[in-house]
Amino acid sequence: MRDNTNLGTTTTTTTTTMGAPLANVAMTLDQFLASVETRAFRMAMIATGNREDALDIVQDAMMRLVKKYASRGPEEWGPLFHRIVQSVIRDGYRRAAVRNRFRIFFGYKGNQDESYQANTIEDPIEARFATADPQPDEQLAQQQAMQQLDTALHHLPLRQQQAFLLRQWEGLSVRETAQAMGCGEGSVKTHLSRATKTLREQLQGYAFFNDSV
């Protein structure tokens, strides 16, 4: 988990509510959200594969945190924010699943891939070539690795994806991950193990990860 300990030092007097020193709490919240928004956006982007959806998810999560939990202590914001983000992503999946069921039921022949799980991730490599901006080899290799990893993560089942990102990337403990995902610690371990196994299998063909796989 990223180090947010610096937040605590400035907010020892603002553990009550937004009503106390209002400007202090708003400033601390601003710092906290600034420190987590990009990672939350990446997680949402991996989950949805769509930039606008990802932005909506992060905005929604920030709004819920500020509205409902601003009065909590800053040390609680991290776990709460992760929980909200994962919950909003799950809600989006459910809505997309219902939409798809309706489309299938009514024989909708449009873009079948228009689901949350759809592969609508923009290809950064193609984008780079399109702008005719020559990149050094290393950067290009990293771009490709990102793309491969994004695709592999995107195609994982949502629970495995969440367990992997929260535990391995965000660095939450098993207990914190379970709280954020709203499931048991045993489930987290199972999801994580399956996710890691799948990722190893999927990425072993790619040069960037070949050394370790």
Residues sharing a CB contact under 8 Å with residue 28, sequence separation 6 or more, in sequence order: 7, 10, 11, 14, 74
CA distance 185 to 195: 15
Shortest Å, Cβ 51 to other proteins = 7
Which of 82, 121, 95 lies closest to 1 in space, CA to CA? Answer: 82
Is 58 or 178 the residue whose CB approaches other proteins more closely?
A: 58
CA distance 152 to 157: 10
What one-letter code names the amino acid at 159? R
**Ranges within 45-104 binding other proteins (CB under 8 A):** 51, 55, 58-59, 62-63, 66-67, 70
Q: What is the contact mask toward other proteins in residues 149 to 168, using x (rule: CB under 8 A)?
A: xx--------------x--x
- Greatest CA separation found in the chain? 59
Shortest Å, Cβ 197 to other proteins = 10
- Contact between 26 and other proteins by CB under 8 A: the answer reads yes
Is 111 or 173 the residue whose CB approaches other proteins more closely?
A: 173
Binding region for other proteins (CB under 8 A): 18-19, 22-23, 26, 29-30, 33-34, 37-39, 41-42, 51, 55, 58-59, 62-63, 66-67, 70, 142, 145-146, 149-150, 165, 168-169, 196, 199-200, 208-209, 211-213
